[in-house]
Protein backbone atom coordinates (compact mmCIF):
# COMPACT_ATOMS: atom_id res chain seq x y z
CA UNK A 1 0.00 0.00 0.00
CA UNK A 2 1.29 3.39 -0.92
CA UNK A 3 2.06 5.80 1.91
CA UNK A 4 0.04 8.98 1.62
CA UNK A 5 1.74 12.28 2.39
CA UNK A 6 -0.31 15.01 3.97
CA UNK A 7 0.36 18.71 3.71
CA UNK A 8 -2.05 19.84 6.45
CA UNK A 9 -3.95 18.65 9.47
CA UNK A 10 -7.20 19.34 7.62
CA UNK A 11 -6.38 16.60 5.10
CA UNK A 12 -5.66 14.17 7.92
CA UNK A 13 -8.92 15.07 9.66
CA UNK A 14 -10.83 14.66 6.39
CA UNK A 15 -9.39 11.17 5.79
CA UNK A 16 -10.05 10.20 9.41
CA UNK A 17 -13.67 11.32 9.06
CA UNK A 18 -14.03 9.29 5.84
CA UNK A 19 -12.57 6.20 7.54
CA UNK A 20 -14.88 6.70 10.52
CA UNK A 21 -17.94 6.88 8.23
CA UNK A 22 -16.81 3.85 6.25
CA UNK A 23 -16.37 1.93 9.50
CA UNK A 24 -19.88 2.91 10.64
CA UNK A 25 -21.37 1.90 7.27
CA UNK A 26 -19.65 -1.49 7.41
CA UNK A 27 -20.81 -1.98 11.00
CA UNK A 28 -24.42 -1.21 10.04
CA UNK A 29 -24.18 -3.62 7.08
CA UNK A 30 -22.95 -6.32 9.45
CA UNK A 31 -25.79 -5.65 11.90
CA UNK A 32 -28.36 -5.77 9.09
CA UNK A 33 -26.88 -9.01 7.75
CA UNK A 34 -27.00 -10.54 11.24
CA UNK A 35 -30.65 -9.51 11.66
CA UNK A 36 -31.61 -10.99 8.28
CA UNK A 37 -29.80 -14.22 9.11
CA UNK A 38 -31.48 -14.36 12.51
CA UNK A 39 -34.90 -13.85 10.92
CA UNK A 40 -34.28 -16.51 8.29
CA UNK A 41 -33.32 -19.14 10.88
CA UNK A 42 -36.72 -19.63 12.45
CA UNK A 43 -38.18 -23.11 12.90
CA UNK A 44 -40.86 -22.36 10.31
CA UNK A 45 -38.34 -21.26 7.68
CA UNK A 46 -35.95 -24.13 8.35
CA UNK A 47 -38.69 -26.78 8.22
CA UNK A 48 -40.27 -25.12 5.20
CA UNK A 49 -36.94 -25.21 3.40
CA UNK A 50 -36.39 -28.86 4.25
CA UNK A 51 -39.86 -29.88 3.13
CA UNK A 52 -39.66 -27.87 -0.08
CA UNK A 53 -36.32 -29.45 -0.98
CA UNK A 54 -37.74 -32.94 -0.31
CA UNK A 55 -40.79 -32.05 -2.37
CA UNK A 56 -38.61 -30.85 -5.25
CA UNK A 57 -36.43 -33.95 -5.04
CA UNK A 58 -39.32 -36.41 -5.02
CA UNK A 59 -41.36 -34.59 -7.64
CA UNK A 60 -38.42 -34.55 -10.05
CA UNK A 61 -37.39 -38.15 -9.42
CA UNK A 62 -40.82 -39.81 -9.21
CA UNK A 63 -40.16 -42.04 -12.22
CA UNK A 64 -36.82 -43.34 -10.99
CA UNK A 65 -38.21 -44.01 -7.51
CA UNK A 66 -41.15 -45.89 -9.01
CA UNK A 67 -38.84 -47.95 -11.23
CA UNK A 68 -36.70 -49.00 -8.27
CA UNK A 69 -39.54 -49.70 -5.80
CA UNK A 70 -42.02 -51.35 -8.15
CA UNK A 71 -40.07 -54.64 -8.67
CA UNK A 72 -39.68 -55.10 -4.91
CA UNK A 73 -43.39 -54.47 -4.36
CA UNK A 74 -44.36 -56.96 -7.09
CA UNK A 75 -42.02 -59.64 -5.68
CA UNK A 76 -43.36 -59.07 -2.17
CA UNK A 77 -46.95 -59.33 -3.39
CA UNK A 78 -46.22 -62.54 -5.38
CA UNK A 79 -44.40 -64.13 -2.44
CA UNK A 80 -47.24 -63.19 -0.09
CA UNK A 81 -49.80 -64.85 -2.38
CA UNK A 82 -47.71 -68.07 -2.49
CA UNK A 83 -47.54 -68.19 1.29
CA UNK A 84 -43.75 -67.85 1.57
- Distance in angstroms (rounded) separating the CA atoms of residues 38 and 40: 6
Domain that holds residue 52: 9-82
Cβ-contact 77, 84 below 8 angstroms: no
**Residue 64: enclosing H or E segment and its boundaries?**
helix 62-82
Can you give the pLDDT at residue 31? 95
Question: Left (φ > 0), alpha (ψ -120 to 50) or beta: where does 5 sit?
Answer: beta
Can you give the pLDDT at residue 68? 76
Tell me if 38 is assigned to some domain: yes
Share of the chain above pLDDT 90, in %: 37
Helix 43-60 vs helix 62-82: crossing angle, to nearest 10: 70
Average of per-residue pLDDT across 46-73: 72
Cβ-contact 14, 6 below 8 angstroms: no
Tell me if 2 is assigned to some domain: no
Can you give the pLDDT at residue 63? 67
Tell me if 4 is assigned to some domain: no
Confidence at 34, pLDDT banded by 50, 70, 90: very high
Please state the domain count of the chain.
1
Which residue has better confidence, 66 or 13? 13
Tell me if 3 is assigned to some domain: no
Tell me if 1 is assigned to some domain: no
Average of per-residue pLDDT across 27-56: 82
Amino acid sequence: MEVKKYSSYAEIEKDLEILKLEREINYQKMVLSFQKTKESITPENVLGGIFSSFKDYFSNSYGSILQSVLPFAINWFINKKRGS
